[in-house]
Amino acid sequence: MSPELKEASFSRCVVVGASHAGVNFAFALRKEGWLGEIVLIDSDLQLPYHRPPLSKSYLQSTEESGYTLLKAEDSYAKEGIELRLGLKVNSIDREGKTIVLQEESSLSYDKLVLATGARPIIPAIVGIQEASNVFPLRTASDVKKIREVLSRTPNPKVVVIGGGYIGLETAASLKKLGASVSVLEREARILSRITTSEMSDFFAQLHAENGVEIFTNKNITAIESTDHIAEVICSDGARFPADLIVVGVGIHVNTELAAGAGLEVSNGIHVDAHGQANDPNIYAIGDCTYHHNIHFDRFVRLECVQNAVDQAKIAAAAIAGKAVAYDAVPWFWSDQYDVKLQIVGLSEGFTELVFRREEGDRSFSVWYFQGEKLLAVDAVNHAKAYVWGTKFIKTRQLLDKAKLQDSKLEFKAAIILA
């Protein structure tokens, strides 16, 4: 047993946030040999569940509890993890090593892990707070409310505010459920802040073929509501009637707790390669963190399950006294209709694109380069491109771009040998 674990035998680790990062951390810490208490706290009353399917399979499900639990209910007790749901943490007292809960009760800690995640942005649109049929899509409760509206509304008209991946996934799911769906995007194209115009055009066409209307350059100024019917009003005079409005315009990172405790915060909670904040007893993991990625040599904040799970394992090992460091290549995915998009790497700063089109209309990949360095790959219905792209980014492999573009050649043919 390491000195850290021996010392921790009578210690308490408190985890704030019971989504992917917090839950995976708690179980990883126990697996690493932590013998002390583990207390997992979350304001949500639901047992922790998988979030990515919310906008897809769960939204489309007819089952009341169609969401998937992260861990079986009895597994927490089996691993000696105390799960406290429906509790809000108000503040952190770093000097006293305690957290203050609602109703001013307190809980001491020896190690504290912040997995506070993020919350949806509700834009400052006139009438949005008064409308009874406007919902974000972040939690199982949000999806339940959306499904309730759909169940009581024949041939519903739905307006999705925001043309990012969440908005588009939601639109695809709602269309499958028989709704008439319009997506309103403020920018000149959907996905404008996260991908190329070619990828934007592809997904716009995909949604058009499936009967979803996408409107760009739409600045929403007001929502007028009467009973359960609303009308979305844009600055150009366009008006969109809606039985249901789903908001998907981004997130606010939950850094208030960390900032109030004097931890370093900018675009998230600053952590080192081990997940440690600027306090030796406090770690942070998941969507709320701002961390250095060695593959891109810059600080990033990532909103994805992969990062949450990877950071959870790293922080657990570090607390257990192991010399580990975060070195993962970011990856993401999106499912819309019959299309699976897999993304590896970060395309920001690219200077050149290489398109590789496979046989069939909906199988291709986009390779993002900064000079000769491969930054990222977008693979549409082509898992092999995603797998090879991951290998190439991890190994910093130099590639022959002409051979990479030629779909008649295997990916390994593009490798430039030193």
The 10s digit of each residue's pLDDT in 358-397 is 987 789 999 999 999 999 999 999 999 999 999 999 999 9
**Segments of the chain with pLDDT less than 70:** 1-9, 62-66, 418
CATH number of 338-414: 3.30.390.30
* The pLDDT value given to residue 376: 98
pLDDT tens for 181-236 read 999 999 999 999 889 999 999 999 999 999 999 999 999 999 999 877 899 999 99
Per the CB < 8 A criterion, the answer to whether 69 and 49 are in contact is yes
Q: How far is 285 from 17, CA to CA, in rounded Å? A: 10
For 286-322, letters b (16+ CB in 10 Å) and e give bbbbbbebebbeeebbbbbbbbbbbbbbbbbbbbbbe
> Hunting for tokens 């810490």 — which residue is that?
29
Per the CB < 8 A criterion, the answer to whether 18 and 40 are in contact is yes
Fold of 3-58+70-119+252-319: FAD/NAD(P)-binding domain (3.50.50)
What are the structural domain ranges in the chain?
A: 3-58+70-119+252-319, 134-249, 338-414
The pTM for the full model equals: 0.94
Helical spans, DSSP H, in 186-235: 197-209
* The pLDDT value given to residue 65: 62
Which phi and psi angles does 28 have, rounded to 5°?
A: -65, -40
Q: How far is 146 from 54, CA to CA, in rounded Å? A: 11
> Hunting for tokens 């949806």 — which residue is that?
120
Q: Does the domain spanning 134-249 belong to CATH 3.40.50.720?
A: no
pLDDT tens for 149-162 read 999 999 999 999 99
Q: How far is 140 from 148, CA to CA, in rounded Å? A: 12
Taken as a whole, the chain contains a residue count of: 418
Q: Are 134-249 and 338-414 the same fold in CATH?
A: no
pLDDT tens for 285-298 read 999 999 999 999 99
Partnered with residue 91 across adjacent β-strands are 100
Nearest alpha carbon to residue 261 among 93, 115, 13, 102? 93
Per the CB < 8 A criterion, the answer to whether 41 and 66 are in contact is no
Name every residue whose Cβ is closer than 8 Å to that of residue 161 and which is 6 or more positions away in sequence: 123, 167, 184, 220, 232, 245, 246, 247, 248, 249
Per the CB < 8 A criterion, the answer to whether 367 and 352 are in contact is no
First to last CA, the chain: 44
Partnered with residue 333 across adjacent β-strands are 342
* The pLDDT value given to residue 7: 57
Per the CB < 8 A criterion, the answer to whether 276 and 290 are in contact is no
Q: How far is 311 from 25, CA to CA, in rounded Å? A: 8
Q: How far is 200 from 362, CA to CA, in rounded Å? A: 14
Name every residue whose Cβ is closer than 8 Å to that of residue 335 and which is 6 or more positions away in sequence: 56, 169, 341
* The pLDDT value given to residue 418: 67
Instruction: Please state whether beta strands 265-266 and 268-270 pair in parallel, antiparallel, or not at all (unpaired).
Output: antiparallel
- Helix, strand, or coil (residue 298): strand
Which phi and psi angles does 47 have, rounded to 5°?
A: -60, 140
Per the CB < 8 A criterion, the answer to whether 191 and 165 are in contact is yes
Q: How far is 242 from 370, CA to CA, in rounded Å? A: 44
* The pLDDT value given to residue 355: 96
For the chain, state the CA radius of gyration: 23
Per the CB < 8 A criterion, the answer to whether 237 and 285 are in contact is no
